[in-house]
Amino acid sequence: MLYATTLSLLALAFFSLASGTPSVASVYDCTKAKGVPIVKPGDSSFAELAEPFNLRLRYTPKVIVLPTTAQHISDAIICAGEEDGKIKIQARGGGHSYASFSSGGQDGSMIINLQNFQDIKLDKETNLVRVGGGVRLGNLAQGIYDQGKRALPHGTCPGVGIGGHATHGGYGYTSRTWGLALDTIVGLDVVLPNGTITYITDKQHPDIYWALRGASESFGVVYNFYMKTNPAPQKITYFQFHWNEILGSRQDFIDTFRHIQDFATNSSVIDERITFGLYIDGSTYRLTGSTFGPLDEFNEKIKPELFRTIKAPSSSTVESVDWIPFLISLSDQDSLAEPLTGYDKHDTFFAKSITVPESDGLSDAALGAFHDHINNDQNPESWYTIINLYGGPKSAVNAKTKEFASYAERNSLWVFQNYGVQTSSMPFIQKINDVILQAQPQTRFGAYINYVDPTLDAKTAHELYYGQETYEKLERIKKVVDPKMLFWNPQAIGA
């Protein structure tokens, strides 16, 4: 079924394209004629602007657009469209796509770089914040705190851009309380594949609003987000525990995680105020978390239950901290501030994810297989796994349904991020997923789209990230909104 709002936009698309300038020789001539700022191969700044976060996956765009207005974005899209769909488009906010999809995922794309859209404007009456599509998370967190002592749920890396992060979920240490970054979006300023500049909400073009919150890279360029903020807590309880001996014993490894999993689902101890995650590498087993509850409550009620049947940690930190210092401690940096231009942090890596359904959790067999693999003598030197708690009692992450947004992972207890530095780590990281899935074949595991995996074919990616029903709805909307498939990467809707 096609939706009336989408059909009205299709009619608007014909008007938009019919009223555009006549077709010209090339995308370079077209953007020049329209006054769109661009950078092309051979220009002095091209190499820096084209460089991806993941240096393992380098692609050369045909053109990089550096808009300062929504009209520039619209004109650039129309110019690409005049080449009859041969030039594919992707927006780039922070550029942190694990698969370099913000570089197009192939050579020859048009990249719309949003680095000039840096506004952070908090409305102190509504507590809504307007966030430019080029804003990075660290600047956003500091900005809304400075303007009104407000906060949002989002990730811990200050350099990540709001665009891909918030439209593909956006988990953070407050997400079990406040939801995902995506859940705070109440409106979007968007340029659609026909060049139409529009404001989209759950009341204005609700089908496209639904699609953008989960699959924005397939439907247009979001240049402003309108997000509902929360009052920043005056204090937050931060905790971290290290175990030195867990990795060496298969049974201790299984027993410890099984107890932590039982603890995470125990509604007599856990509620939506608390979250935590495990960090594991070749020598480290560390649990880090936070709670909105007071320090005394954690020490007297929660911590004793966490350690009730397992070995005491080798070292512990439990403290009450202010909001901004808390975010800085999670970031592993000295400040939340990131440069507005010239961002130059990169890595060479391969990553995969696993989402573990709340109905199943992880079995002893899967935990044992995981332990055996990561204790192999042939392991790479530099790798890690982060296992974050998404579900559990009263989790706001899982409170939404598939009707709320196209982001579909709303039933996960745990989400794994398996990350290996250098190309040589790829077989090891791939096998982390393989051994867990093979040891627990009765479970339907998924994947988290913000840890996008470039090795997946499009069909597999669509199934893991969205599931059949959600994907089919996205594909119907895509056929109406972007019939030329201008907005494309190797795993885009319709790819």
Please indicate, yes or no, if residue 495 is contained in any of the structural domains: yes
Please count the structural domains in the chain.
2
Residues 222 and 175 in one domain: yes
Residues 299 and 283 in one domain: yes
In sequence order, what E strands does 247-301 have? Answer: 274-280, 285-291
- Is residue 388 classed exposed, middle or buried when 0-12, 13-18 and 19+ CB atoms within 10 A define those classes? buried
Residues 490 and 410 in one domain: no
What values do phi and psi take at 150, rounded to 5? -110, 170
DSSP run (H or E) holding 32: helix 27-34
The CA distance from 391 to 397, in Å, is: 7
Which residue, among 38, 37, 64, has the nearest Cα to 50 in the 3D structure?
64
Please indicate, yes or no, if residue 121 is contained in any of the structural domains: yes
Q: What is the DSSP string of 103-162?
A: GTSSTT-EEEE-TT---EEE-TTT-EEEEETT-BHHHHHHHHHHHHSEE----S-TTSBH
The CA distance from 169 to 332, in Å, is: 22
Other CB atoms within 10 A of residue 416 CB: 26
**Cβ atoms of residues 136 and 158 within 8 Å:** yes
Per-residue model confidence (pLDDT) at position 381: 84
AA letter at 375: N
Convert the pLDDT of each residue in 21-44 to its tens digit: 444 459 999 999 999 999 999 999
Structural domain including 111 reads 1-233+456-495
**Region of 462 on the Ramachandran plot (φ > 0 left; ψ -120 to 50 alpha; else beta):** alpha
- The stretches in the chain having pLDDT less than 50 are 1-7, 10-24
Residues 371 and 489 in one domain: no
Residues 203 and 306 in one domain: no
Any idea which residue has 């990350």 for tokens?
419
Per-residue model confidence (pLDDT) at position 426: 96
Please indicate, yes or no, if residue 338 is contained in any of the structural domains: no
- Is residue 329 classed exposed, middle or buried when 0-12, 13-18 and 19+ CB atoms within 10 A define those classes? middle
Which residue, among 188, 272, 265, has the nearest Cα to 222 in the 3D structure?
188
Residues 314 and 410 in one domain: yes
Residues 367 and 222 in one domain: no
216-251: b (≥16 Cβ within 10 Å) or e? bbbbbbbbbbbbbbbebbeebbbbbbbbeebbeeee
Please indicate, yes or no, if residue 300 is contained in any of the structural domains: yes
AA letter at 117: F
What residues are paired with 185 via a beta bridge? Answer: 227
DSSP letter at 446 equals B
Please indicate, yes or no, if residue 328 is contained in any of the structural domains: no
Please indicate, yes or no, if residue 48 is contained in any of the structural domains: yes
CATH assignment of the domain containing 438: 3.40.462.20
Per-residue model confidence (pLDDT) at position 38: 98
What values do phi and psi take at 249, rounded to 5? -120, 120
The CA distance from 165 to 91, in Å, is: 13
What residues are paired with 389 via a beta bridge? Answer: 414
The CA distance from 31 to 396, in Å, is: 44
Residues 154 and 273 in one domain: no
Per-residue model confidence (pLDDT) at position 13: 45
The CA distance from 246 to 154, in Å, is: 30
The CA distance from 313 to 72, in Å, is: 56
Residues 208 and 315 in one domain: no
DSSP run (H or E) holding 222: strand 221-228
Per-residue model confidence (pLDDT) at position 11: 44
**Cβ atoms of residues 80 and 104 within 8 Å:** no
Residues 177 and 256 in one domain: no
Per-residue model confidence (pLDDT) at position 25: 59
Which residue, among 423, 450, 418, 415, has the nearest Cα to 434 in the 3D structure?
418
Please indicate, yes or no, if residue 144 is contained in any of the structural domains: yes
Residues 254 and 360 in one domain: yes
Residues 83 and 120 in one domain: yes
CATH assignment of the domain containing 120: 3.30.465.10
Convert the pLDDT of each residue in 279-337 to its tens digit: 999 999 999 999 999 999 999 999 999 999 999 999 999 999 999 999 999 999 999 99
Please indicate, yes or no, if residue 435 is contained in any of the structural domains: yes
